[in-house]
A and B are shown apart, each in its own frame.
Chain A
C-alpha cells in the first residue's frame, strides 16, 4: 500500500512496527506496546486520523502476553477516508495507555473494555464499569468465564445467577476432522 501516511509512520517508528499486514486494502500494523500512546498521537496529529472508529480487545488465554488492544482509526477530513488498524499486546496485570485525551470517545470504549475484560488504563479519568454494575465481581468476556454466568449478589443493586444452558454453548471448531471432533457435545466452563 502506498499511502502517504504509511511512509511517515515507517520513517518515524520503523523499528517499533513489529508486523504489517494488508488484506483487501485493509492495513493492520502490529506495534510494540511501550510506544503505543506516541504512535496513536502521531497518527492523529500528523497523519490526519481524526476519527477513532472503535477500540477492541482480545483475550489470548494461555498465551503470554494475554491481552491485545486493537484500535480502528479513520481519516475523515478532506475526503481522505484512510482506514488503519493498530494492534499491540498488553501483559496481564499491566495497564494499557488510555487514548481518551486524544479522542474523547475513547472514554466509553475503554470503560467497556475494563468492564468486560478487566484491562486497566492509565490516564483514564472515569475508570468505572459501564455495562455491568459497580461491584460486580467478574469480567464476563474473558475466555475463562462461562457464558452462563456465575452467581453473585449485591443487595439492593443487582444479583446474577447461572443460566440453564443444558450442557454448554454448542459451538463448532474449524477443523476438517470428523463431526465428532468438530462439534463437541459440550464446551461448558463451570
Chain B
C-alpha cells in the first residue's frame, strides 16, 4: 500500500517530468534552428514562438491525467452502484447501519463540540483563565475584594486581570411592568480583558468604575432588540434598574456570554472601593478572571501567584478555613465545563465505540459479499486490471456506501440532536450553540469517509487468486481468520458499552432509590426573592414575610404550610463548623468544614416529613419570645456532643456571644446534592428576625400544583404585585438533580443496545457464511455418520470460542475504561463485578441466539444434496 506521502511525492515527480519533456523539446528545436544558421538568441526566440504557450500545454498534459483519474472514479462508482443493484438488501443493510452510526456520532459530536472542542466566543481564548480561592464553601473558585485588589497588581504572568460580583437579579422598569432580568456588576476592564468591544456605544471607563460615579450600564444585544427595537437612540437614555436611574452607554456584542457561562441582560460597573476597611472588603465575594501573557503556561501563572495567595490567605480568610483553601488557576474552558466534562467525554467515547462497531459490521458484510465476488475480481485481474485499480474499485464501493449512509446519517443526526436538546439537563448543552452547522456536517463527512476507509480496507486488501477463476471454493483461511477476529472485536466493544451501560443504570437506580431524608410527594414549592431596594429596611422585610405567611397559610386546601429560605437537596451557603461554641464545653475541633443552616417556620419538619428524633420541633408560640431556639441534624448533634444528650444545651453559632437553646434533633437529609449529607442546623424564623431575602414557601397539600399556583400568585400579588414567583412540585425540583445521570445512562444504554444488536448480526453473518461454505464438508460428515446434534454443537462451539475471545478482551478493556467514569457513578464502583457479569450474561445470551439459527441450518443439511452441490 502506498502511503499518502509517497503518493504526494510521486505526483510532484511526475509533474516535474512532464515539464522536463517540454523543456527538452524547446532545447532541441533551438539547437536545430542554430544548426540551420540562426544566431543563438534568435534561435531561442524562434523556438519559443514556434512552441506557443508552454504553460497552457503543460496544463493540457495534466488534464489528460486528471481526466483519466476522474473517468476511472466514475467508472468505479458506476460499477459499485451496479453491484449494489444486484444485491440491494446487502447495500441497504450496510448503508442503514452506517447511517445509524454516523447519525448517532454526529449528533453527539454536535452536542459536545461546543463544550469540548470549539473555541470559546473570545479572541485568543486559550489565554483566558479563572483565578481564585477554592474551598469547601463553593463548587467553583471564588475571590474576595480585598485579596483581589492585591492580586491584580501581579503583572508578570497576566496581561490583565478582571473581576465581577456574583450574579444577581434585578428589576428593569421599562414602561409600566417591571422585568426581572440578570444584572452583572463587572470591573471597567472586563470586556477588554475578554477581548471584546461593545457592538454600539462605548465600553466602561475607569471613571465609571469609581465608588460614587454616575450610574451607567451596557445592555445586552437581545435586550436592545426586544425592549428597544434595536433603536440606536437607546444610547444615552436613562432606564430604571432597581428603582434607580441608570444611563445606557453601550450595547454588548451579539451572543455575548459571561465567562462563567451565565447570561447577562445588563452590565454595570462593580465599583470596588479600595478605601473601605479590609475586613469589609474581605467579606465581599468576587469571581476573578485573567488573560495570560503570550507563552505563559497555567502552571507558571499558578507558581507566580502562590506567594501572593499565601499572603492574602492570612489576611482575608478566616483562620478555620485556611488549611482547606487552595489556589486555583485553570483554563476558562475547564471552569465552564468542569461538571459536564467527564459526562461529555464519556458520551463521545461511547458513540465512537458504536461507530467502530458499525465499521466492523459493514466490513463483515462487505467481506461476505467479496467472497461471492471473488470470481469477478479474478477475471478482472486476469484481463489486465492492475492491483491498484482493483483496490481502488473496492474502496470506491465502500465510499459510495458510506456517503449514502452518511447522507441519511445527517438526517438522523438532525432529528437526534433536536431530541437531545429537549432531553438534556441544563448545563450539559450550551444553550443556543448546539445545532447542525458546517463543523457538524464536516464531522459527519469525516466520520463517513473514515468509516469507509476502515471497513473498505479489509476486502480491498484481498489479493485475487488465480484459482478463483476456476470457480473453485477456495478456503481463504486468512480472510476467515480476519472475519473471526472482527467478530471477536465486535463482541469486545459491545461488552465495554454494555458494562458501561449497566454501571450507569445501576448507579442511576441507586440514586433514584436513595432515601432523601424527606418526602417529596404532595409537596408544592413557591420560590421568590425580595428586591433589595424596596425591602432594604429590616422592618419592611419582616412585615412583608409576616403578611405573606398569614395569607399563604389561609389558602383553602393549602394543607400544611411552612416557609424556609432554602430547601434540600441543595445546601445553603453554610458557615464554618469551627465557629460553633458549646456552653460549658471546650472549643470544637478546627477544620470541620462547613455547616448548612436554614431559617424555617415551625411547619417545616411536618411539610418535609423530617422526623424529630429527640426533643421537639419548633412551636408557633416561641416566635415572639426573645430566645431564638435551634434544632440540630443528627450528624451535627453526634459530631458536637457524641453520646451526650444535646437537648437543653446552649450553642453559640457565630462566636458572637449569642446563646441559643437546642430544643430538638431532626433526622438527616440529603442536603448537598442527592448523595451527600452535610451537618446542618435549623433556626426558627422569629417575629423580629431578618432572614435572607430569598424564600421558599412549602405546602403539603392534596391540591394539584397548577391549582395551588394560581392561589399563590394571587396572594403574593396582593402583597407585592411586582414580585415574580416560581411554583414547582417538589418532585420536579428534586428530579432536576437526577437529570444528568439519567441522560448519560439513557444514552449509553441506547448505544449499548444497538452495539449488542450489531454484534449479534455480525456473529450471525459469519456463522451463516461458514455454514454455507462448509455445506459440502458437513454433508460428507453426515454421510459418514455424524449426527445433526454433533454438527450443531460444532458450529455453536465455534461461535463460543470467538465470543469467548471477545468477552475476555472486552472484560479487560471494560475494567480499564470504566475506571475513567468513576466520577459519574454513585454507589457503584467501576470494577463492580455484578455489572460486568450482567453485561457478559447479556452478550452470551445474544451470542447463543445468533448462533442458533445457523447451527440449526447446518444440522438440517441433507447429505445427498450437499454432496451433489456443484
Do A and B share a complex?
A: no
